[in-house]
């Protein structure tokens, strides 16, 4: 379970967390993780069904809406240093940066069943609450189908999108790439991050979504947006 200042999540099958900088509390029947340490939670389901999807939506809502008290980190401090240097060089003052942290990433794996990629499309009702309820990455392993949620850049606005990919035997690779992206966006590496493009670029060149659905944004888009005094 993931605990935040104002509540706790539903039980999660897998928790990916920063063990180097945060503690956890292992108990006899489950472990407790603090929301500030958790990067992504995963659900693993044996077979797809509407009831299992409802369970995924409920758990995603808890995880993505979890309040954290994380303070500015290394990335934020480096951004401010770069802006200070740019101000000294150009003579243009800045007013800090608008920093919106990422929500806890969410993913789900269905081992069997589910609609085929060409029949998969979120319902209008699901799209109304997709920002809160829809997982960031979903894999229907038997179907070879991957469903990904994406957001616009912080300074662009607009809507989010849910893309359905018919990845076939490469579905696990596509899902893994999406999972690594979730972790990378929510972590501060000390070394140069892994460049995934050489491993998957050719795959994405050939892989086109079978459907793309837009959903309305109900909370600020995560990101770091410098504020300059022009």
Lowest mean pLDDT among 73-82, 137-146, 183-192: 183-192
pLDDT for 230 equals 65
Instruction: Tell me which residue of 24, 40, 77, 74 sits closest to 189, measured CA to CA.
Output: 74
CA 77 from centre of chain:
23
State the chain's mean pLDDT as an integer: 89
Contact 181, 193 (CB under 8 A): no
Token pair recorded at residue 23: 């503690």
Residues 8-56 pLDDT 10s: 877 889 999 999 889 999 888 888 999 999 999 999 999 999 999 999 9
Using an 8 Å Cβ cutoff, are 95 and 227 in contact?
A: yes
Per domain, the residue ranges of the chain are: 2-228
Measure CA 21 to chain center: 20
**Which tens digits make up the pLDDT trace of 131-158?**
999 999 999 999 999 999 999 887 677 8
Structure tokens at 13: 């099958």
* Residue closest to 6 by CA, chosen among 35, 41, 39, 42: 35
**What pTM, to 2 d.p., does this model score?**
0.87
Segment 70-75 shows an average pLDDT of 79
């Amino acid at each position: 379970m993931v605990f935040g200042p104002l509540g706790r999540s539903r039980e999660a099958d897998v928790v990916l967390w920063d063990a180097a900088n945060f503690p956890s509390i292992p108990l006899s029947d489950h472990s407790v993780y603090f929301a500030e340490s958790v990067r992504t939670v995963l659900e693993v389901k044996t077979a797809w069904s509407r009831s299992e999807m409802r369970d995924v939506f409920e758990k995603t809502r808890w995880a993505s809406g979890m309040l954290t008290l994380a303070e500015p980190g290394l990335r934020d401090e480096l951004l401010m240093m770069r802006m200070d240097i740019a101000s000294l060089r150009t003579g243009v003052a800045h007013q800090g940066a608008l920093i919106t942290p990422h929500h806890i990433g969410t993913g789900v794996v269905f081992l069997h069943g589910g609609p085929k990629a060409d029949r998969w499309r979120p319902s209008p009702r699901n799209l109304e609450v997709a920002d809160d309820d829809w997982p960031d990455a979903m894999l229907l392993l038997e179907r070879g189908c991957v469903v990904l949620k994406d957001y616009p850049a912080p300074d662009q606005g607009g809507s989010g999108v849910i893309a359905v990919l018919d990845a076939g035997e490469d579905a696990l690779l596509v899902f893994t790439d999406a999972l690594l992206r979730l972790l990378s966006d929510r972590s501060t590496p000390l070394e140069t991050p892994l460049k995934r493009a050489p491993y998957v670029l050719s795959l994405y060149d050939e892989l086109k979504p079978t459907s793309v659905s837009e959903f309305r944004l109900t909370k600020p888009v995560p990101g770091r947006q410098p504020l300059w005094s022009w």
